[in-house]
Structure 1
Amino acid sequence: MNLQPRPCTQCGEKVAEYGRRRCFSCLHPSLPPPVCKTCGSDDHYAGGYCRRCHPRVVSADSCSDCFAWGIWRRRGLCAACNSFRNRGHQPGRCQTCGRTVPLKKGVCRLCHCQARAIPRTWQRPDLTTAATTGQQLFLADQIRRVHLAARRPRSRTSPATVRHHPRALCWTVPRWRQDRLFEAARDMSRVTVPDVAPLDPAFTDYVAAQADNHADAQGWSPGLRERVQQSLYLLTAVHGPHETIKASTVATLPRQQSRRAVLRVTEVLATLELLNDDRPDPLDQWIHRRLSRVHPEIGEEALVWINIVRHGGPRRRPRSPATVRNQLTSAIPFLLACSERYCTLRQVTHGDLTEWLAQCPAPHNEAVALRSMFKTLKSQRLLFTNPARGVSLGARPGTVPKPLSPEAIQFMAEAAATDPALKLLIALIGIHALYPHQARALPVSAIDFVRGRLAHGDIDHPLETFTRQAAADYIELRRERWPNTRNPHLFISSQTAYSRAAVTIGWMQVVLHGLPVTAQRLREDRILEEAAVTGADPQHLCVMFNITPETGLRYIRFFQPNPADSDDASPSHLETS
């Protein structure tokens, strides 16, 4: 195999044509040389291509996209870049290196490789790494996963006829655990098929048996069960029974087909109390991101307050993560304003607080957060005085619910016609007026088709035709998509189908994405419709929807507005819609 190009014997500058000793310009001086179909070069070799771009010429050169050196016959591209182009990535200017090459998410493949070369545990690769560290070139087509053993073909027999080998169902947890003198990080991303002898076969069999029991209880699919068992075998083969397994080590497992295998492996280890969860807390990361623009000393003082709100203190109970997020979100604008004038919260005066709160349209939430912050810092002896003492909270911001427009209702009806989950969600919230958290926590047993009732806890409503059909369509879709799920909740997703957890508010936001309404507005429209039919009786609304008298009067305010209120909507609009 001759990898060196043969130069022209006459001019010695260009490459000789295929089967000739001279180049095209020397053979045909009176004709202009043809241009290469790929790169536009006039160094013609054969078939309208130059030697570098010819699809059947083996050449040793650097890849034109990633600069990797190798031997190929793919028109000047390595196998990875050739596949990268064939996937439909369009050329453009790279946001990191500035070259005009095919891009994925605005970044070329060379910058993607540089970002993956610098691992970040439990974080996505930083695509801007090459702008600060430079590019590390490499040999082409050398990135391969290490296969320690050949993959055994799957058996064609049904799962019911497969005979499982007996495993140790009983294993004694060691009474003492020996700490390691030198802790070395384990990287298992290069291994796909385990072919190592376990340190303790009894421990490995025990974990495998418990994983099988967990899979049966959660209704895992055979493919997911196999991936989890392979991952657990690999982990228990290199970890002895005397040590726990770090979550960062589980994160280095190869993600085969889906990320669910890593999540389920972590779930099994946590159930067996074998997991050392060293993952960073998402709430901690969110707090530090919000405080990153604040003055460092002010940020440290605010962090003391946040830690006490979050974890509690003497005579103070810890608050929920939602409360922590809401209070910090309300206090961040004031902290940013203080960072422009002061370097510590000890310099803040009572006048600064009242002046800043006067600029807020509805300062109730901000006043609550600031009073809590300064009171906590004063109790921790970080402040000499409490500047928020005597600050009025003001009235809690309130709104008058408004009905949905006919256009919005028509848009929702068209969207629900092709989405069974959205159709059932609209029926539960828009007809039965369930709270969003009640709809997410509703079990499948709450839909009683025999008695024609929707019954769960304090909820006991008759099933009308629309809700019955919507529930039947969604349950049929649920059975087809996840036939083995053991999740008792009515609404499930690909993340919760193999567990017992309910869907989150994020799932509901995805289902309602693109609609002109939210779940809360959909429920308010149902209550306003009931109020219009019953003559705006607040007592009837309280009994019907289990709401407080203050909330009932809030809905009645739409039908009996104050003269000072300036609402665009009117009761007549609701009655005619």
Structure 2
Amino acid sequence: MIGDLIISSTHRAVLQRMAEAAAAANWSAQTSGPALAGLSRIFDRHPDGQPVRLSQLNAELRRSSGARLARTVLDEVGLFLDDTESTMRLWIERQSSTLPEGFRADVRTWLIILLEGSARTKARSKSTLYAYFGRVRPHLLAWSETRHQLREITENDISQVLNALTGHQRAGTFTALRSLFQFAKRHRLIFADPTRRLSVGRAPARVLQPMTDAEIAEVKQAAVTPEQRLVVALAAVYAMRASAIRHLTLDDIDLPRRQIRLSGHHKKLSEFAHRALVDWLHDRQRKWPHTPNRHVLISWKSAAGTEPVSDYYLTWRLLLLGVQLEQIRGDRVLQEALVVNADPLHLELVFNLSSQTAIEYADIARSLLERPIEAVLS
């Protein structure tokens, strides 16, 4: 099909690269054909060498998987231009519009400053914005029954909110409220910062108990596919975080020697991890035999490119099924701490933890080791 098109050599090369990427991802002709035809239609009315706009791709390919693949290929050759408003900007507009009118504009500006940063503040991550807004929104709605602007919120209002909370929820809410009101004071939206004289101290110490037999059984029941079992194995054996699992590459795996490279250090592949890894790699090869992606975990979307799978990939396959990777990871570190008599230096070296985190796990293990036998058996 590509050979019959009267197009420039640049456009022909892009279409050829897209066809190869689709083949590497094991796309069927019914999937790749319409995507290639859509991009060629854009090229028919597009000047040679000019970037293709994201709005054009979305209009022609209707935000399909083909549009995402075309975007990846065009970006590789420097012919892609994102002319749409960022999804986070749209999220900010949508969420701030749910607030009472008196708070809406100030919160919107606060979130934009968090997103983009300023001369005095650095940009924050998406997860920070989600967390801060989620902590602040219910209290703004409650205050709106008697207050109409941020400048009307008092120190007593903040104290009442914090006194009704405990633990990490209290600490997280205070951090979010302090960020909002420090921003408002800095931009002269309020006369005084109601959080200035308040403090909740340090966040409570890490609380963790060994996983029960029932919890372990639930994980085994939920993790049934090869990739799910691999993710659980990596968290359960090596205490790997979700981000480290997503970025693990084939170059980090040495199956003949049964080794895995983590944070620059080679570790032995346990029987459990080795079996899970082999099962997944066989499944991966069967589905995407020609993928150029070197990451161990790939999906139908990432197989056509070279990027790691998204955060949502793990969320959809595990967290939404009730499998908490952090709980599994924490249980692995705690079990190791119990075996080595709560030695924080050992935990720091084995799991690449910070000194403070290793000490926290050691303290938890020590408290469990010092419990009376009656309490352990109860």
TM-score (norm 2): 0.87
CA distance in 2, matches of 1:560, 1:484: 50
Amino acid at match of 1:377: A
CA distance in 2, matches of 1:407, 1:334: 37
1:420 and 2:197 equivalent? no
Superimposed CA distance per residue, residues 421-474 of structure 1 (whole angstroms, 9 cap, x where no aligned partner): 122112211012112211111001222012221114434210122222211111
Please state whether the residue corresponding to 2:267 is helix, strand or coil: strand
What pairs with 1:329-368 in structure 2 (closer than 5 Å)? Answer: 329-362=134-167, 363-368=170-175
Does the CA-based 8 Å contact 2:334-2:365 persist in structure 1? Answer: no
Please state whether the residue corresponding to 2:71 is helix, strand or coil: helix
- State the shift of 1:483 in Å: 1.0
Amino acid at match of 2:192: T
1:539 to 345, 350, 369: 345
Amino acid at match of 2:187: Q
- State the shift of 1:225 in Å: 5.1
Does the CA-based 8 Å contact 1:400-1:555 persist in structure 2? Answer: no
Greater share of helix: 2
CA distance in 2, matches of 1:336, 1:278: 34
Find the counterpart in structure 2 of residue 247 from structure 1: 54
1:377 to 171, 184, 187: 184
Amino acid at match of 1:537: D
Amino acid at match of 1:311: E
Does the CA-based 8 Å contact 2:54-2:82 persist in structure 1? Answer: yes
Which segment drifts farther, 340-349 or 210-219? 210-219
Find the counterpart in structure 1 of residue 124 from structure 2: 319
- Cα 1:319–1:543 change in 2 (3 A) is same
- State the shift of 1:572 in Å: 5.7
Find the counterpart in structure 2 of residue 488 from structure 1: 294
Amino acid at match of 1:235: I
Does the CA-based 8 Å contact 2:132-2:176 persist in structure 1? Answer: yes
What pairs with 1:29-48 in structure 2 (closer than 5 Å)? Answer: none
1:208 to 12, 16, 30: 12
CA distance in 2, matches of 1:274, 1:468: 42
Find the counterpart in structure 2 of residue 259 from structure 1: 64
CA distance in 2, matches of 1:210, 1:494: 21
Please state whether the residue corresponding to 2:260 is helix, strand or coil: strand
- Cα 1:559–1:276 change in 2 (3 A) is closer
- Cα 1:522–1:328 change in 2 (3 A) is same
Find the counterpart in structure 1 of residue 93 from structure 2: 288
* CA RMSD after TM alignment: 2.9
Does the CA-based 8 Å contact 1:306-1:324 persist in structure 2? Answer: yes
Larger RCO (CA under 8 A, 6+ residues apart): 2
2:317 to 511, 516, 525: 511
What pairs with 1:1-400 in structure 2 (closer than 5 Å)? Answer: 165=3, 201-202=7-8, 205-213=9-17, 215-216=19-20, 219-221=24-26, 223=29, 226-241=33-48, 244-253=51-60, 259-362=64-167, 363-400=170-207
CA distance in 1, matches of 2:33, 2:323: 42
What pairs with 1:400-549 in structure 2 (closer than 5 Å)? Answer: 400-416=207-223, 418-513=224-319, 516-549=322-355
Structure 1: stretches of 5+ with no match in the other structure: 1-151, 153-163, 167-196
- State the shift of 1:220 in Å: 4.6
CA distance in 1, matches of 2:210, 2:242: 18
> How many residues are aligned here?
369
- State the shift of 1:571 in Å: 5.2
Please state whether the residue corresponding to 1:318 is helix, strand or coil: coil
CA distance in 1, matches of 2:77, 2:91: 30
Please state whether the residue corresponding to 1:460 is helix, strand or coil: strand
CA distance in 2, matches of 1:511, 1:401: 24
Does the CA-based 8 Å contact 2:89-2:112 persist in structure 1? Answer: no
Structure 2: stretches of 5+ with no match in the other structure: none
Please state whether the residue corresponding to 1:352 is helix, strand or coil: helix
CA distance in 1, matches of 2:268, 2:103: 56
CA distance in 2, matches of 1:395, 1:527: 23
- Cα 1:445–1:331 change in 2 (3 A) is same
Identity %: 26
Amino acid at match of 1:269: L
CA distance in 1, matches of 2:183, 2:61: 46
CA distance in 1, matches of 2:102, 2:20: 53
Please state whether the residue corresponding to 2:303 is helix, strand or coil: coil
Superimposed CA distance per residue, residues 313-362 of structure 1 (whole angstroms, 9 cap, x where no aligned partner): 12222122222222222221222122221221122222222222222224
Amino acid at match of 1:300: A
CA distance in 2, matches of 1:450, 1:377: 59
Amino acid at match of 2:264: D
Does the CA-based 8 Å contact 2:115-2:123 persist in structure 1? Answer: yes
CA distance in 2, matches of 1:367, 1:302: 16
CA distance in 1, matches of 2:114, 2:262: 34
- Cα 1:379–1:425 change in 2 (3 A) is same
- Cα 1:254–1:370 change in 2 (3 A) is closer
Say which one has the larger Rg: 1
- Cα 1:505–1:395 change in 2 (3 A) is same
- State the shift of 1:478 in Å: 0.2
Does the CA-based 8 Å contact 1:211-1:229 persist in structure 2? Answer: yes
Please state whether the residue corresponding to 2:197 is helix, strand or coil: coil
Which segment drifts farther, 287-296 or 516-525? 287-296
Which segment drifts farther, 468-477 or 205-214? 205-214
- State the shift of 1:516 in Å: 4.8
- State the shift of 1:243 in Å: 6.0
CA distance in 2, matches of 1:419, 1:435: 19
Please state whether the residue corresponding to 2:202 is helix, strand or coil: coil
